[in-house]
């Protein structure tokens, strides 16, 4: 029998929730959707069911466009909301600005107008720094405000804060986009339904996350305001995101969001981050730098400690200048995983 497993299936790191495997319930859903023929390119029963599931969460006007990955969901969302001369206001730390290799600009032909923020969150006052020049032919026209929930710094927008941004954007003739790569972690932490800080708060389009919460692959663009769909049917194909066997993307999203798997998985990941913070924050020389509101812990270790820990675990440098690192927990992070890391930190700082 050929060897098919090439890694230690018991190893778990703290670099990213993308490192985690696929949730067993998601794998089961993929297997269940296999066999027989289903019409391709989204005319299948699973994509049809996904529309029903999305509407249960976001309202009867919502519509979902499954795609392969989160960068595509963001690029397509922004493309659909903007004319060719449009621009997006976002935080300097936004994923669309720092981690998508220029895809919004190069593929989406979108100008990004960034704003520095202390905590990764935009406010109406911060948006106002870039929301100007309307009608000026020499300036890309601000047309979208894009926020991330939870943010790249692990912080959360309350429904009230999102509503304030939506009201401001709409008053200026702009739209509000929400990058929801970790939308489940945000809802779990806030203890609110998904629609409370999306549909009910005035968001127009959501990038609905899946991969960071247990999917094998796949996300979706969810249009909440029907007149905000600027040709997604055509843009998705043009941007090479129209899956021929779409049932295998859609069935994963159905399995995640139809019941409570999204909430169970996110709640667990958040709890592991809380446990991790509690275990290390009072250790000598350890400085936890940011609030732990979802499933990430940002920390500066004493000199040399991070290098010791890297002999066993992978994690990311967040700010090389300050030696800040990011530790992420996932749906499959265990208490034993966390406690092992905490014990290693305690030994290293001692």
Instruction: Judge whether residue 165 has pLDDT over 90.
Output: yes
Residue 40 has pLDDT above 90, yes or no: yes
* pLDDT score of 3: 76
Q: What is the pLDDT of residue 80?
A: 97
Give yes or no for residue 133 having a pLDDT over 90: yes
Are 262 and 256 spatial neighbours (Cβ–Cβ below 8 Å)?
yes
Q: What is the pLDDT of residue 2?
A: 75
Mean pLDDT, residues 314-329 taken together: 97
For range 321-338, the mean pLDDT: 98
With a pLDDT cut of 70, the percent of the chain lying above it is 100
1, pLDDT greater than 70:
no
Kindly report the average pLDDT of the chain as a whole number: 97
pTM, full prediction: 0.96
Strand partners, 112: 88
How many helices (H) and strands (E) are present in the chain, helices listed first? 13, 11
Pairing of strands 219-223, 287-288: unpaired
**Confidence at residue 273, expressed as pLDDT on a 0 to 100 scale:** 98
Rounding to the nearest 10 degrees, give the CA dihedral for residues 189, 182, 204, 47: -120
Domains and CATH numbers, the chain: 24-257 (3.40.640.10), 261-349 (3.90.1150.10)
The string of pLDDT tens digits covering residues 208-220 is 999 999 999 999 9
Concatenated DSSP letters for 274-318? HHHHHHHTTSTT-EE-S---SSEEEEEPPTTHHHHHTTT---EEE
CA distance 81 to 122: 19
**Residue 86 near residue 62 (C-beta atoms within 8 A):** no
Q: In this predicted structure, what is the pLDDT of residue 51?
A: 98
pLDDT band with cut points at 50, 70 and 90 for residue 4: confident
Convert the pLDDT of each residue in 41-83 to its tens digit. Answer: 999 999 999 999 999 999 999 999 999 999 999 999 999 999 9
Residues 216 and 233: their CA atoms lie apart, in Å, by 24
pLDDT tens digits along 174-196: 999 999 999 999 999 999 999 99
Query: Among residues 340, 343, 329, which one has the least CA distance to residue 268?
Result: 329
Length of the chain: 350
Write the DSSP symbol of residue 14: S
Helix (H) or strand (E) holding 328: strand 324-328
pLDDT tens readout for residues 248-302: 999 999 999 999 999 999 999 999 999 999 999 999 999 999 999 999 999 999 9
Short-list 195, 179, 175, 182, CA closest to 80: 175
């Amino acid at each position: 029998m050929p060897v098919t497993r090439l890694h230690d299936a018991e190893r778990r790191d703290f670099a990213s929730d993308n490192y985690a495997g696929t949730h067993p319930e998601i794998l089961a859903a993929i297997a269940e959707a296999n066999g027989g023929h289903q019409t391709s390119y989204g005319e299948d029963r699973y994509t049809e069911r996904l529309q029903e599931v999305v509407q249960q969460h976001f309202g009867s006007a919502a519509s979902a466009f499954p795609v392969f990955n989160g960068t595509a969901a963001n690029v397509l969302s922004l493309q659909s909301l903007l004319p060719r001369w449009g621009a997006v206001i976002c935080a300097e730390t936004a994923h669309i600005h720092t981690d998508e290799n220029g895809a919004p600009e190069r593929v989406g032909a979108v100008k990004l107008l960034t704003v520095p923020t202390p905590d990764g969150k935009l406010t109406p006052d911060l948006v106002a720094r870039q929301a100007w020049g309307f009608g000026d032919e020499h300036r890309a026209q601000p047309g979208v405000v894009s926020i991330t929930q939870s943010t790249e710094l692990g912080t959360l927008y309350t429904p009230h804060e999102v509503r304030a941004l939506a009201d401001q954007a709409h008053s200026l003739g702009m739209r509000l986009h929400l990058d929801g790569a970790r939308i489940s972690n945000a809802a779990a932490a806030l203890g609110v339904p998904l629609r409370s800080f999306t549909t009910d708060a005035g968001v127009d389009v959501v990038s609905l996350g899946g991969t960071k919460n247990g999917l094998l692959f796949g996300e979706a663009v969810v249009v909440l305001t029907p007149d905000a769909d600027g040709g997604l049917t055509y843009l998705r194909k043009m941007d090479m995101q129209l899956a021929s066997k779409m049932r295998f993307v859609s069935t994963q999203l159905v399995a995640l969001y139809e019941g409570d798997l999204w909430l169970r998985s996110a709640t667990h990941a958040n709890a592991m981050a809380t446990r991790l913070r509690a275990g290390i924050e009072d250790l000598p020389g350890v400085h936890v730098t940011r609030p732990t509101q979802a499933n990430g812990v940002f920390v500066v270790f004493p000199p040399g400690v991070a290098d010791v820990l890297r002999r066993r675990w992978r994690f990311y440098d967040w700010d090389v200048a300050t030696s800040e690192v990011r530790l992420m927990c996932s749906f499959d992070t265990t208490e034993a995983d966390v406690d092992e890391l905490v014990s290693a930190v305690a030994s290293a700082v001692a």
